[in-house]
Structure 1
Amino acid sequence: MSNLIAGLAVVISIAALVYTRLQVVYSRQQLALGERVRKEATEPYVVPDIQPRAGSGLLVFTVENTGPTIARDVELDVSPPLQGGERTDWDEKLAQVVGRKIPHLPPRRRLEWYFAFGPRLFDNPELPRQYTVTVRATGPGGPVEPLTYVIDLDVMQTLALDRETVVAKLDTIADNTKALRKLPSK
């Protein structure tokens, strides 16, 4: 009987040891996850995009720090090179600007550069519709993990991009005002 009790005690001790080991492993995982969440919550997040500029039909390439801390030494790698199709020299200037290192980008700072006139871009099937942008930056805790974004312009193609610029609309308003002035008054 005492051998049975001793054997049972050994089995219970082994089970307790296994359970304790699992708790240690789980605690380490939780600690590592908590540390990662804390670190990521204090990192800058630099997001590149191509967006319509309201009321103009223009598309702009944007870079914005949506994180809570300053991003330093921001580098963008864009593939294929941005090609808006307006003029080759504009595409070259944009590539040159985007290829430069941005020394610092404070939280909520947004930079934007002219990319293309949307309706003309979408009328040209030869132009790339997808760009892959990899962002490298340094945050307060050192280098931030590189993030890769895919900008898919086909998603934007169905948006209601204005074909007229604000200036053209103002000209229309001015013409209508002149026409109203020519109407006889009562």
Structure 2
Amino acid sequence: MKAEHWSLLVSVLAFLAAAWAMKYARSQARSAEGQLEVARRVHREQNEPYVIVDIQLHEAGSLLLVLIIQNVGPTLARNVRIAVTPNLTSTQGGDVAEALAQVIARPIAMMPPGRRLVYFFDSAVQRFESDLPMLFEFTVHSEGPMGPVEELKYTVDLRVLGETLVGQRATKPLEDRLDKVSKGLNELTGYYHQANQQAIAATRSRRMEEVRQRREAGQQNHATGSADGSSEPVGNA
């Protein structure tokens, strides 16, 4: 092969190598930019407030449904605004519905991390027996330390809670609590008798002895009165 052919071949190979190196460098740069963007997004999300809205039972065994607004994020949330579809209604009347509407319409100036706001919503039993809406969609806008937070949407389906209460009497939670109290009192009474058995027996014996002495004293007084000839005076016929 002639020298000029070798020179041309070397030039072509060098060009291809340079093109490949440039393409690889661009690919690495795009990958680095993507990783950096992901890292920035993760860092931002980890340091943003996270305001959730939910409807749930007030506590385990409760018959009250409550509306809960809570900041579960690590930073302060500002200018929290909430919207809901459809409007919140309650079997407890228009006053409750109006109060809930005011809660939803009123912006919350700030919510520190862990702040939890609880509002009465409805009676669980009456709600599940009514024809009122059971599905709600909440939309939350807020601002964090780095500016506006991404819009959050929550779908709340009350039918999920209703299924957990199927077949349960309205007074069942109260009955269970009273049953626990009754068992506790019975156990306490048993412990008391075991710990004070001797004292209880001594007190019982003392009281029986006092009753016996009073009875003997009464019999003795009666016998003494009969021996002295004392009796009720008898009137003239």
Q: Give the residue type in structure 1 aligned to 2:108.
A: I
Q: Which residue of 2 aligns with 1:151?
A: 156
Q: Which residue of 2 aligns with 1:69?
A: 75
Greater strand percent: which structure? 1
The alpha-carbon deviation at position 171 of structure 1 amounts to 10
The alpha-carbon deviation at position 156 of structure 1 amounts to 1.7
Q: Radius of gyration: which is bigger?
A: 2
From 69, 74, 88, the equivalent of 1:82 is 88
Q: Which residue of 2 aligns with 1:120?
A: 126
Q: Which residue of 2 aligns with 1:91?
A: 97
Give the number of aligned pairs.
Answer: 174
Q: Give the residue type in structure 2 aligned to 1:70.
A: L
Q: Root-mean-square deviation (CA), in Å?
A: 2.3
The alpha-carbon deviation at position 20 of structure 1 amounts to 0.5
The alpha-carbon deviation at position 119 of structure 1 amounts to 1.5
**Runs in 1 of length 4+ with deviation above 2 angstroms?**
160-166, 168-173
Q: Secondary structure at the match of 2:153?
A: strand
CA deviations over 1:24-71 (Å, ceiling 9, x no partner): 111111111111111111110000000112232111010010000111
Unaligned ranges ≥5, structure 2: 1-5, 187-237
Alignment of 1:163 onto 2:170: yes
The alpha-carbon deviation at position 172 of structure 1 amounts to 6.2
Q: Which residue of 2 aligns with 1:36?
A: 41
Q: Give the residue type in structure 2 aligned to 1:144.
A: V
Relative to structure 1, is the Cα distance of residues 79 and 39 closer, same or farther in structure 2, using a 3 angstrom cutoff?
A: same
Q: Which residue of 1 aligns with 2:135?
A: 130
Greater helix percent: which structure? 2
The alpha-carbon deviation at position 169 of structure 1 amounts to 4.5
Contact kept, 8 Å, 1:56 with 1:162, in 2: the verdict is no
Q: Give the residue type in structure 1 aligned to 2:86.
A: P
Contact kept, 8 Å, 1:57 with 1:162, in 2: the verdict is no
Relative to structure 1, is the Cα distance of residues 72 and 7 closer, same or farther in structure 2, using a 3 angstrom cutoff?
A: same
Measure the CA separation in 1 of the matches of 2:50 and 2:178: 42
Q: Give the residue type in structure 1 aligned to 2:65.
A: L
Q: Percent identity of the aligned residues? A: 38
Unaligned ranges ≥5, structure 1: 181-186
When normalised by structure 1's length, the TM-score is 0.85
Q: Which residue of 2 aligns with 1:18?
A: 23
CA deviations over 1:56-111 (Å, ceiling 9, x no partner): 21110100100001111111111111112221221111111221111111111111
**Structure of greater relative contact order (alpha carbons < 8 Å, 6+ residues apart):** 1
Relative to structure 1, is the Cα distance of residues 69 and 171 closer, same or farther in structure 2, using a 3 angstrom cutoff?
A: closer
Q: Give the residue type in structure 2 aligned to 1:72.
A: R
Relative to structure 1, is the Cα distance of residues 152 and 169 closer, same or farther in structure 2, using a 3 angstrom cutoff?
A: same
